Amino acid sequence: LTGEDSTATGKGVLGDTKSFNTLVNSNGSYLVDRTRGSGIFTYDAKNRTRTPGTLWLDSDNVYNAAYDGAAVDAHTYAGQTYDYFQDVHSRNSYDGNGAELISTVHYGRSYNNAFWSGSQMVYGDGDGNTFVPLSGALDVIAHELTHAVTDTSADLIYQNESGAINESMSDIFGTLVEHHFNNKPDWQVGEDIYTPSVAGDALRSMEDPTLSGDPDHYSKRYTGTGDYGGVHINSGISNKAAFLLANGGTHYGVTVAGIGNDKAGDIYYRTLTQYLTPNSNYSHFRVSTIQAATDLYGASSAEVASVKAAFSAVGVN
């Protein structure tokens, strides 16, 4: 594919105007951003389930049609997530080696989900009640891309406690990316694309996981076999700890002094990429996070003390 690098404008899922990089040639404008790593490529599944589908081609480099919104956000937010990992953690794409970022939108019919397939991001349109097109939320895209970071580093097995940590890392970095770009930042997940007719709700809350029925203490962990052993359920334990580490608070009588998003992000990134292994459980997660914080700030630092307090607050001792 040859052509000129160009900047297009368009409207995202929620009607917001934004600009993004495209490749233009005699065929028209492709959602190809050659300025980041080996490139960001966004495809159209045309409501079927073959991936990646067709590379997105637009006629005039202006992406204002309703059908374009999902692609505009998938492309733009993938670029922002790339920038977060490069600029904040010096990681070039999800593998650290500039891997291409492939996204497919309009996957399936009224498909209420988004996922990392093992090689690319995939976004459904939602049914319009439970979800609107799922690429419309930056925390969701960063959630999916963090699965790729995890798979190319700790490679946490997607079940039971290692799977819950895998899921929590995706929620943590999804939230940190949303804060980094100051995109209506909060400690909820998927709020921008979940239940358009219900204000103030979200898929999951990191501040209070019990709002979606998930545990906020290790003693309340799910031990069944559903959801790959509760990977989207027991993630609440780590999500609550992450909220406390960044923001501070008192939980079940344990007080945590917040250290802020940036330090928390550096600690979790180092934990994920240097210490966690495929079979890590919550106990090893605590030890690893303390070690990462010790490497960065010293054994007697306030940051290490807050990591210990955050894990103790959620019952991981």
Strands 121-124, 17-25: pairing kind? unpaired
Write the interaction track for Zn ion spanning residues 46-75; mark x where CB under 5 A is met and - where it is not.
Answer: ------------------------------
Judge whether 179 counts as a catalytic residue.
no
Q: Exactly one of 93, 170, 234, 306 binds Zn ion (CB under 5 A); which one?
A: 170
Q: Which residue is nearest to ligand D38 (CB)?
A: 112
Q: What angle do CA 42, 48, 51 make, to 5 degrees?
A: 45
Q: Which two tokens stand for residue 224?
A: 């069944």
- Residue with Cβ nearer ligand D38 (24 or 203): 203
Q: How far is CA 271 from CA 12, 213, 231, 245, 262, in A?
A: 34, 27, 19, 14, 14
In whole angstroms, what is the distance from residue 31 CA to residue 309 CA? 45
Q: Which residue type occupies 183?
A: N
- Residue with Cβ nearer Zn ion (170 or 280): 170
Buried b (16+ CB within 10 A) or exposed e, 91-103: bbbbebeebbbbb
Decide: helix, strand or coil at residue 250: strand
In whole angstroms, what is the distance from residue 144 CA to residue 139 CA? 9
- Residue with Cβ nearer ligand D38 (144 or 216): 144
Catalytic residue among 144, 167, 178, 303: 144
Q: Which two tokens stand for residue 69?
A: 């919104």
Catalytic residue among 143, 147, 180, 232: 232
- Residue with Cβ nearer ligand D38 (39 or 230): 230
Cβ at position 177, least distance to ligand D38 in Å: 13
Q: Which residues are 102's β-sheet partners?
A: 41
Cβ at position 309, least distance to ligand D38 in Å: 28
Judge whether 144 counts as a catalytic residue.
yes
Binding at 114: pick from ligand D38, Zn ion, none (beta carbon under 5-8 Å per type): ligand D38
Residues 6+ apart with CB under 8 A from 225: none
Q: Tell me which residues touch ligand D38 (CB under 6 A).
A: 112-115, 130, 134, 140, 143-144, 167, 190, 203, 232
Binding at 112: pick from ligand D38, Zn ion, none (beta carbon under 5-8 Å per type): ligand D38
Cβ at position 190, least distance to ligand D38 in Å: 4
Q: Which residues are catalytic?
A: 144, 232
- Which residues are at the interface with Zn ion (CB under 5 A)? 170
